[in-house]
Amino acid sequence: MPQEKAADKETAPRSTDIAVCEVLEFCEGVVETAFDRATAIRPCPIGAEGACCKHCAMGPCRLVGKVERGVCGATRATVAARNFARQVAAGASAHSDHGRGMAFALLAVAKGEAHGFRIRDEAKLHAVAGYMGIKTEGRSVNEIAREVAETALAEFGKQAGELIYLSRATKPRQEIWRKERIAPRGVDREVVELMHRTHMGTDQDAENILDQCLRVALGDGWGGSMMATDISDILFGTPTPLQSQVNLGVLKEDEVNVVVHGHEPTLSEMIVAASTDPELVEYAKSKGAQGINLAGICCTANEVLMRHGIPPAGNFLSQELAIATGAVEAMIVDVQCIMQSLVEVASRFHTKLITTSPKAKIEGATHIEYDEVHAYNSAKEILKAAIDNFPNRGNTLIPKVGEGLIAGFSHEYVRYMQGGLYRGSFRPLNDAIIQGRIRGLAGVVGCNNARVDQDAPTVKIVRELIKNDVLVAVTGCAATGAAKYGYLRPEFMAQAGAGLREVCEAIGIPPVIHVGSCVDNSRILTILTQCATEGGLGEDISDIPAVGICPEYMSEKALSIGSYFAASGAYTLFGLPSPVANSPEVVDMMVSGWLKRFGGAIEFEPDVDALIQKALSLIDEKRRALGLVEYDPDRFGQSGDRVLEEVLARLPEGELLNVYSTER
């Protein structure tokens, strides 16, 4: 792979991304980055294993060595479960508060108070109204939208009953949630109850704490996140496949570079619209630039990539380096995954760091508060500040490294691509799995983590999975990671096993499909549910030959995602050491206990090769349980488009891959 650079094992983890390495080399001794701090700061081994309890002022208690209990008598299991559960609560809150923000935005649009926004996908609005039991006949779009928004908002504060969207799961899954008493009542209620239960001296039964943790996580996956995805689609359009590029090479020497970073799509949608405003483009030219170039980092990047093809400049660990290219006039941030160090890095260059959310100010950054009512004007004000900054640009270092990609695979499109508008279904995919052309499915999701080589685990896992005929869906920073190395290009079918390749060629998709940002992991739940209800692969997500993998997790949101995947019946593997390792009892509850009760589990496996083998064996076990033909990599011989392989073989190395012109 031309894009991969072997990380120097003598040193601390760095990156396999040659663009990142190029800028890091320049930063050496000049600009401090997360890579440097990760080398300087050793992770606390006590906290890392969930052995530290700091829930009251008698501690912090370190349950290590011969210490089995804290001052209050809390056991290792209680402490590990409480720590994990609180992390899940924080992650679920981040996703769900994002979902609440989207519901408020929809309400403002429906009331005609959000200038510049409109409902772009009426079909999706009707579909969502259907899930919510809202009458649509004879009503205007805004009336329906208003009731959808109000119903969604009510889901957060609901005190009893069940979240409405649980009814979108398979019937057997709903029964499991009821039987095991983990069906969430209201999104916020479950988080508050978890914080109560994990207060000193309250819930002191690890399994009971973990049950509440799953209730919270389900409130995220089938509540806050799913509503965030749906409402984003209603307001900004349901994604369909489109082309773009990725990596630091998407920044332009001769244009005003504006990088959007964070998670929420409302402001970034307006930034996209304003970036082509003739008045602003002319203004940029008056300052000596050729135009305005937008790029993204983290999941705001994924939101605007999925709907507009705006190129991601990188994933989580690339955020400081985008600024260190010296070519970014403004980095506009909203919420989540934004490093406080950006202020310091930006101060070394001319970049304006602009915070926009009242929920996320950063000392030293410029705050331009965004509100839906004046969204377009806010976007213009921000872009104008970026343009004004263009003449201040000094020397730049934009690595000539980039990669093409295809993104935009909403679950609606995945269904559509298997038969079109009138015959769309999951039948072809299910049949391919049943025949063994596709061995199984994997969702590869999550972040970068400065404790491991940036992108290395994700890329290795994706490569091995597709080689073994596993169709991969990616989200979040894992999606950007896979994209940087070419895996989101249809040409990369050449690396897939023969069976997977044949299916991808027939449908016209890459072997790795980008389904969105981290809240869009809810799309994976929907895809798996539709596979289950299509027939032939059992009756529930837990029957399907599928795994969830989070190779480089960093965020608490990833733990919430893993927990709702597990409670939804998916075995989920995390590629870092276990945060509950201090309690073998809790480790066992989350693997064999959850497997028995929910058909899904969470396991932490830092050895990438072992993780890949585990993922493949889990898929094969499900195949056997369903009585499907045993997977045989040679069954489909040399099927697939051999011509493509020959064309690729004739090209000099690097011609198609890795380097593209910055002229787009």
Nearer to ligand MSK by Cβ, of 393 and 557: the residue is: 557
Q: Considering Cα of 44, then 48, then 54, then 60, what sign does the dihedral take?
A: negative
What is the number of alpha carbons within 13 Å of residue 221 lying toward its C-beta?
Answer: 30
Angstrom distance (rounded) from CA 561 to CA 574: 11
Q: Is 337 in the site for ligand MSK (CB under 6 A)?
A: yes
Nearer to ligand MSK by Cβ, of 148 and 342: the residue is: 342
Angstrom distance (rounded) from CA 149 to CA 157: 13
Q: Is 316 in the site for ligand MSK (CB under 6 A)?
A: yes
Report the Cα 525 to chain-centroid distance in Å. Answer: 13
Nearer to ligand MSK by Cβ, of 284 and 478: the residue is: 478
CB of 244 to ligand MSK, least distance (A): 17
The answer to whether the beta carbons of residues 622 and 630 sit under 8 Å apart is no
The answer to whether the beta carbons of residues 377 and 279 sit under 8 Å apart is no
Interaction residues for ligand MSK, span 346-375 (CB under 6 A): none
Q: Is 446 in the site for ligand MSK (CB under 6 A)?
A: yes
Q: Is 322 in the site for ligand MSK (CB under 6 A)?
A: no
DSSP state letter for 33: -
What is the number of alpha carbons within 13 Å of residue 146 lying toward its C-beta?
Answer: 10
Q: Is 299 in the site for ligand MSK (CB under 6 A)?
A: yes
The answer to whether the beta carbons of residues 334 and 356 sit under 8 Å apart is yes
Tokens 């769309």 belong to: 424
Report in angstroms the alpha-carbon separations of 26 from 150, 318, 326, 499.
51, 14, 11, 44
Q: Is 477 in the site for ligand MSK (CB under 6 A)?
A: yes
CB of 27 to ligand MSK, least distance (A): 20
Angstrom distance (rounded) from CA 357 to CA 332: 10
Q: Is 101 in the site for ligand MSK (CB under 6 A)?
A: no
Report the Cα 72 to chain-centroid distance in Å. Answer: 38
SS3 percent helix, strand, coil of the chain, rounded to 5, is 50, 10, 40
What is the number of alpha carbons within 13 Å of residue 11 lying toward its C-beta?
Answer: 13
Nearer to ligand MSK by Cβ, of 417 and 518: the residue is: 518
Q: Is 447 in the site for ligand MSK (CB under 6 A)?
A: yes
Give the list of residues 6+ apart from residue 477 with CB closer than 8 angstroms, or none: 298, 299, 315, 316, 446, 447, 448, 552
CB of 417 to ligand MSK, least distance (A): 25
Rounded to 5 degrees, φ, ψ at 566 are -60, -45
CB of 481 to ligand MSK, least distance (A): 9
Nearer to ligand MSK by Cβ, of 108 and 518: the residue is: 518
Interaction residues for ligand MSK, span 400-419 (CB under 6 A): none
Q: Is 3 in the site for ligand MSK (CB under 6 A)?
A: no
Q: Is 557 in the site for ligand MSK (CB under 6 A)?
A: yes
Q: Is 555 in the site for ligand MSK (CB under 6 A)?
A: yes
Choose, by CB under 6 A, the member of 518, 524, 531, 618 that binds ligand MSK: 518
Rounded to 5 degrees, φ, ψ at 258 are -120, 125
Beta strand 470-475 with 440-444 is parallel
Beta strand 352-355 with 330-333 is parallel
Rounded to 5 degrees, φ, ψ at 158 are -60, 135
CB of 13 to ligand MSK, least distance (A): 16
Window contacting ligand MSK (CB under 6 A); options: 65-73, 425-433, 464-472, 554-562: 554-562
**E-strand stretches of 368-489:** 403-407, 440-444, 470-475
Q: How many helices (H) and strands (E) does the chain have?
A: 28, 16
Nearer to ligand MSK by Cβ, of 561 and 616: the residue is: 561
Angstrom distance (rounded) from CA 422 to CA 366: 50
- Contact mark string toward ligand MSK, 588..627, x via CB under 6 A: ----------------------------------------
Window contacting ligand MSK (CB under 6 A); options: 149-157, 555-563, 581-589, 626-634: 555-563
CB of 416 to ligand MSK, least distance (A): 26
CB of 297 to ligand MSK, least distance (A): 8
Choose, by CB under 6 A, the member of 223, 476, 545, 575 that binds ligand MSK: 476
The answer to whether the beta carbons of residues 14 and 27 sit under 8 Å apart is no
Q: Is 298 in the site for ligand MSK (CB under 6 A)?
A: yes
CB of 478 to ligand MSK, least distance (A): 7
Angstrom distance (rounded) from CA 581 to CA 128: 41
CB of 260 to ligand MSK, least distance (A): 12
Q: Is 292 in the site for ligand MSK (CB under 6 A)?
A: no
Nearer to ligand MSK by Cβ, of 98 and 437: the residue is: 98
Beta strand 52-53 with 61-62 is antiparallel
Nearer to ligand MSK by Cβ, of 337 and 470: the residue is: 337
3-state SS class at 231: helix
- Type and span of the H or E element at 308: helix 298-308
The answer to whether the beta carbons of residues 229 and 161 sit under 8 Å apart is no
Nearer to ligand MSK by Cβ, of 83 and 458: the residue is: 458
Window contacting ligand MSK (CB under 6 A); options: 146-154, 161-169, 504-512, 550-558: 550-558
Nearer to ligand MSK by Cβ, of 212 and 555: the residue is: 555
CB of 449 to ligand MSK, least distance (A): 9
- Contact mark string toward ligand MSK, 237..266, x via CB under 6 A: --------------------------x---
Choose, by CB under 6 A, the member of 213, 554, 580, 601 that binds ligand MSK: 554
How many residues bind ligand MSK, per CB under 6 A? Answer: 16
Window contacting ligand MSK (CB under 6 A); options: 189-197, 245-253, 450-458, 549-557: 549-557
Where do runs of H (alpha helix) occur along 163-224? 171-179, 187-197, 206-219
Please report, as ranges, the residues that interact with ligand MSK according to CB under 6 A. 263, 298-299, 316, 336-337, 446-447, 476-477, 517-518, 554-555, 557-558
